[in-house]
Chains A and B, each alone.
Chain A
Amino acid sequence: MRVYLAVFALLAAVQCEELFNGDQVLRIHVESEDHIQALKELEEDVDSVLDFWTHGFSTERPIDIRVPHTSLSAVKDFLKKNNVPFTVMINNVQELLDRETAEMVSNAKMERSTKSFNFAAYHDLETLYSFMDTLVASHPNLITKVHIGNSYENRPMYALKFSTGGVSRPAIWVDAGIHSREWVTQASAAWIANQIASNYGVDPSVTSLLGQMDIYLMIVTNPDGYVFTHTDNRMWRKTRSVNSGSSCRGVDPNRNWDAGFGGPGASKDPCSESYHGPYANSEVEVKNVVDLIMGHGNFKSFISIHSYSQLLMYPYGYTCTDIPDKSELHSVGTAAIKELTSLYNTIYQVGSICKIIYQASGGSIDWTYNIGIKYSFAFELRDTGYYGFLLPANQIIPTAEETWLGLKYIMEYVRNHPY
């Protein structure tokens, strides 16, 4: 039916004519032989230019007829006179056609713009935000944009929520770009968002995952910092909050969480890249995420994406003491990394933050683990120091592709191990 209408719309558009304005589609409820006779009479009357959408008359099913505007009153009178019951199914065929065409045009445009979003390039904040809107608009039944609050400089912070329904389903959190100079993370997260959206309904694993759980994906977790890396200083890491009594701005958002806050592995100097801030959750960017996680109450996994070093880590960072679940998380991590490496042979190491990279207090995954989100992990993506933060754009997609395999493994594991 749709194709039929579409073809007509196309022809109409081509001829720049509104062919069906005022036309209606009537649904005839045939109840007796007399009704069938009446319809046959109508059919034989060639002058009425009736367009029967259903062929063959029987009392078993309704008969649909498109009636041109000019013949409407005559046909309705005839049907009434013969006591043939009918309903108006389409009130104005042209109107429906116009709406359909507009929808197709808009879909094509959206498809072009998500297809035309260059995943193999680094983009500014505005472009990333616009990409998010496009993605949401082209997957309205799967993705919503959640405004979790604003940054220090009042920029909106958005998480993409992938959900097929339910109320407060068990959920997985993924964030990227909490450290703004780690550009491959925001870029990979955009690719991954698109990947999840495209995989839903196609990939059985992703489809089953989203049938039971929600995914929250935050592509730009530190928007102020990200803008600053574009406008002023490519190496900016922290937030852009003003520190009282200091000319140095910013707090390390991954030293600001309430887990071993202020302990070793964070600095009390506002000028330091690892300054922990005046108190835990002092940074609004951190507070917004904390509030969302606490308010939701049903997150089962929290994964934070950083670069660089090629590591997959689990808690703790604030102490080198092993977590109770060390064995399990280490083997999940090891298996996830096996998937990641299988694609391009990129070597990753697995271990706790404190042992594998450095002791660091006030980190996000330590806090999430301590409030009971068992499957808390942090990635450090490519590379191992050759380009470091300045990873060439031609490595974005390979990085995103391999990371996705590791991430997917973890998500599937979380789905299969409810707690």
Chain B
Amino acid sequence: MASTGDLEPTHYPARRAAQVALHYLNTHHGSPFRVFGLQQVHKASAEDVEAGGRKYKLDFSVTDWASGSAGPALRCSADVLFPRTERHSAPDVKLRCEALQQINRTAQEEEAFYQKHITPDSAVSARDIPDSYGNMSEEMQPFWRLARVAASFIMLRESSENTEFNMAQVASVTQQESSEEQLMLEFVVLLHDLPSQEIVQWKLLASWSPDRGVRVLQTEWQPRCPHATKPPN
């Protein structure tokens, strides 16, 4: 069904591959004050490769979601390889974005946020971010972004040509005891897969500091109740 050669940039095969590149970008450059979003795919092509994989070549633009849609766009190019193995394995991404270093540094906010929560008596705990009505307090925004970046590790790993993931909601965030000068956060996130329309729930443990960035230490898929009421605690 998939075509080889040039792809229509606005159609889903190109877009899904670009989202995978976005997840990769966010795992490397996301922070409590920076999450990237796809603005537009400019050009895309795909070809089958030896060992049965499919490689996408992409030319696209991203924006910093944290500064709103009015923020400047960054031009990126990426090679995204979806392996075609019997058991699912993560796609491989090679990414280049222009002027990544030149975008507005958020060092000050990051440092302030870090200092505020690395103290032993910080014990952040919250549910449903945003809430059903899309409300998210100013205080919770950096935690939402951290969850989004941490979730990008999972979304990147779980992606295939047949998925298109977004984070639907942060079901909970619970701060753990800091370790090795890293903020330690346990998240439960709800991911939304567009093609299947499924909501998938994951529990994960992530660390962050301004120096080391986001690391995901543990992930655990959580089954949802068949009658699909509130997620299990």
Residues of A within 8 A of B (CB): 121-122, 229-230, 232-237, 246-249, 252, 267, 271-274, 309, 320, 345, 347, 349-351, 355-358, 384-393, 395
Which of B1, B130, B190, B194 is within 8 Å of A235, CB to CB?
B190
Asked whether B134 is an interface residue with its Cβ less than 8 Å from the other chain, the reply is yes
Q: Does B198 reach chain A (CB closer than 8 Å)? A: yes
Does B202 sit at the interface, judged by CB under 8 A? Answer: no
Q: Is the interface on chain B under 10, 10 to 19, 20 to 34, or 35 or more residues?
A: 35 or more
Counting from the closest, the 7 A-B pairs by CB-CB distance are: A392-B134, A385-B166, A273-B197, A349-B10, A358-B195, A234-B132, A390-B134
If over half of A's interface residues share one DSSP class (helix, strand or loop), that class is named, otherwise mixed; here it is: loop
Chain B residues touching A, majority SS: loop
- Shortest B99–chain A CB gap in Å is 22
| Cross-chain contact A237 with B197 (CB below 8 angstroms) | yes
**Complex contact B229–A232 (CB within 8 A):** yes
Does chain A have a CB within 8 A of B118?
A: no
B168 within 8 A of partner (CB): yes
Q: For chain B, residues 24 to 55, give those with C-beta under 8 angstroms from any C-beta of chain A.
A: 37-40
Q: Which residue in A230, A233, A345, A349 is a CB contact (below 8 Å) of B228?
A: A233
- Pair A384/B192 contact, Cβ less than 8 Å: no
19 residue pairs of the A-B complex, CB under 8 angstroms, read A230-B132, A233-B229, A234-B169, A237-B197, A248-B228, A249-B227, A252-B197, A273-B197, A320-B1, A347-B39, A355-B8, A357-B194, A358-B12, A358-B194, A385-B37, A386-B65, A388-B166, A388-B192, A389-B168
From 152 to 173 in chain B, residues with beta carbon under 8 angstroms from any chain A beta carbon are: 166-169
Any chain A CB within 8 A of the CB of B230?
yes
Q: CB of B11 within 8 A of chain A?
A: yes
Question: Quick one: given A274-B197, A388-B192, are A236 and B228 in contact (CB under 8 Å)?
Answer: yes
Contacts of B85 in A (CB 8 A): none
Expressed in whole angstroms, the Cα–Cα distance for A149 and B166 within the complex equals: 36
Total cross-chain contacts (CB, 8 A): 91
A388 touches B196 (CB 8 A): no
Q: Are B133 and A392 interface neighbours, CB within 8 A?
A: yes
**B229 (CB) vs chain A CBs: closest residue:** A232
Q: Which chain B residues lie closer than 8 Å to A395 at the CB level?
A: 134
Interface code B108-131, partner A: CB below 8 Å = 1, 0 otherwise?
000000000000000000000011
Question: How far does the Cβ of A347 sit from chain B's closest Cβ, in whole Å?
Answer: 7
Chain A residue contacts of B8, Cβ below 8 A: 351, 355
Tell me if B102 counts as interface (CB < 8 A to partner A). no
